[in-house]
Structure 1
Amino acid sequence: MNDEALIYTGKATPDAAADRGWLLGHFKRPGDVRHSEDVEIKWGVHPRGEERAQWVTGEERTALQVLISGRFRLEFPGRTVVLAEQGDYVVWGRGVDHSWYAEEDAVVLTVRWPSIPGYRADA
C-alpha cells in the first residue's frame, strides 16, 4: 500500500456533514484510513434546541465528549452534566444510558470505543 492511501486530510465540518458527524469508525468503508473497529470520532455540530431522538440504552462503549463551543447538556440516569465552557468534558463507561440536548448552538467532539454497529437514533 502506498503512503497516500495511509494519509487523509480534511475539514471536520464538511467531512462530518457527509456522515452524520462521524469522521472515523467502523462505518467508513474498509480500506479507508478512517475505518476503525477500535474507536469512533465525531465532530458534532448541533443547533440550539436539537436533542437526541431517543435515549441510548444498554451502552457497550466508553465515551469521551469535549465541548468545542456553545453549551451542551448530557442526561444520565439520576444526573445531568452541562458542558458550558470550551474544553469542558465528560467521560462515561459501558452500561451508562444517556441522552443529550443542545442548550445553545454547540460543537462537540465525541470519541467512543470500541467502534461497533448500533445506537443510531433516527429522527
Structure 2
Amino acid sequence: MSDSVYVGRAGRDAALDRGWLLGHFKDAADPRHSEAVEIKWGVHRPGEERAQWVTGEERTALLVLISGRFQVRLPGRTVLLAEQGDYVVWGRGVDHSWYAEEESVVLTVRWPSVPGHQVDDGGSAQPV
C-alpha cells in the first residue's frame, strides 16, 4: 500500500481530532494533510449548540446534512437542514453559529485551510 493512500472510517477518525478529517493540521507526510481545504465529520447530540458565534472568519464553508435536523444560524436568518443532503454555503466574513435539533451528523468543508487559524472559546477566529 502506498504512503499516499489513507483508508479510514469518518466516525472513528473524527473522534481523534475534534471531528476534523483533513486539513493543514494533519502531519505533512499524511495524505490527509491539505492547505487547500479542511473537512470535518461532526456528530452532534440533540440540543447541542455553538453558544458563541464565530466572528472574523476568513474561510468559505459548505455544511451538508448527513442525518438529523440541524440549524445553521447566520446574521438575520436561520437555515434549517432537515433532509439528508440539504446544505448551506457561506462566504468569508459571514458570522455563524449552529444548533442540533435532533442527533445530527454533518459534513463541513472549509477553504482554504489556514495554518495557525482556529476559533477560540469566545467564538472569534484567531491566528495561533
Relative to the length of structure 1, the TM-score reads: 0.93
Output aligned runs, 1:39-118, within 5 Å.
39-116=37-114, 117-118=117-118
**Matched length:** 120
**What's the CA shift for 1:87?**
0.5
| Conserved 8 A contact 1:52-1:121 | no
Structure 2 Cα separation of the partners of residues 38 and 88 of structure 1? 24
Report the RMSD for the aligned CA atoms in angstroms: 1.3
With 82-91 and 52-61 compared, the bigger mean Cα shift is at 52-61
Where does the alignment leave 5 or more consecutive residues of structure 2 unmatched? Answer: 123-128
Instruction: Specify the SS of the correspondent of 1:50.
Output: coil
Q: Deviations over 1:38-69 (max 9, x none)?
A: 10000100010111142110110000000000
**What's the CA shift for 1:93?**
0.2
Runs of 4+ more than 2 Å apart = none
Among 15, 18, 35, the residue aligned to 2:16: 18
More helix by share: 1
